[in-house]
Amino acid sequence: MTSIKISPSMLSADFSCLKESIEAVEEAEWLHLDIMDGHFVPNITFGPCVISKIRNYTDQIFDTHLMIEEPRKYIQDFVDVGSDYITVHVEVHEDLADIGKTLNMIRDTGVKAGISINPPTPWKPYKDLLSKVDLVLVMTVNPGFGGQTFMHEVVPKIREINEHISEEDLHTEIAVDGGVSPKTAPKVVKAGADILVAGSAIFKGDAKENMQHLRDAASR
């Protein structure tokens, strides 16, 4: 079993001192960057210019989660500012061919590609895409806001995706996003997650300490 990676969601960080927030989580392997457009989700966050500034302070893997409509319009912008992974939602696409077009566009830039699946969205229609992506981001809250309650009913979906990845001998990694905390992490890891995205569980209070608690819980 590979070791679990932690991807702190910067959405919950103090935006008045992003540099310090990044330093506090420098031991995390990844940084999760939530991009919201006010259309696909009922919230607006930040864009490429913020990412370009924080890119100067860290070499961590930038895991850009696009919660936006028409993602193809903005992919190059997120590549240019230093994203290592770009994840798009299956729900903003017309069909599998349309998703394939977006994934090819991401991969052609040399950046790793991911798909994200909302809690009510079944995963099986997207089964064949799992061999074409580096990452599948399973949402355990309805996207839009940090600090929501983990939806336990999504856990079987994580398990089923993990089983499929093992059966097919794929290298696709599973990230889980929404309500991940020391309390929920053991269940998420047991179901097969490789990457834990966590916002409020890390940035509410002492981020360094919280990171350690999450790591301890994940290895239990």
Stretch that binds ligand DX5, among 6-14, 53-61, 96-104, 107-115 (CB under 6 A): 6-14
Q: Which amino acid is at 25?
A: V
Residue from the set 22, 198, 207, 214 that interacts with ligand DX5 by CB under 6 A:
198
Residues in the chain: 220
Asked if 89 touches ligand DX5 (CB under 6 A), the answer is no
Biggest alpha carbon–alpha carbon distance for the chain: 46
Nearest to 74 by CA among 48, 45, 95, 96: 48
* Of 177, 180, 196, 211, the one binding Zn ion by CB under 5 A: 177
Residue 28 sits in the site that holds ligand DX5 (CB under 6 A)? no
Q: Which of helix, strand or coil describes residue 16?
A: helix
From 14, 34, 77, 128, the catalytic residue: 34
Task: Report the residue from 4, 6, 12, 60 that binds ligand DX5 according to the rule CB under 6 A.
Answer: 12
Query: Closest CB to ligand DX5 belongs to which residue?
Result: 199
* Helical (H) or strand (E) element with 215: helix 207-218
- Among the listed ranges 23-31, 47-55, 56-64, 141-149, the one in contact with ligand DX5 (CB under 6 A) is 141-149
The pair of three-digit structure tokens given for residue 109, joined into one six-digit string: 């830039």
Residue 70's nearest CA partner among 44, 42, 37, 45 is 37
Contacting residues toward ligand DX5, per CB under 6 A: 9, 11-12, 32, 34, 65, 141, 143-144, 146-148, 177-180, 197-201
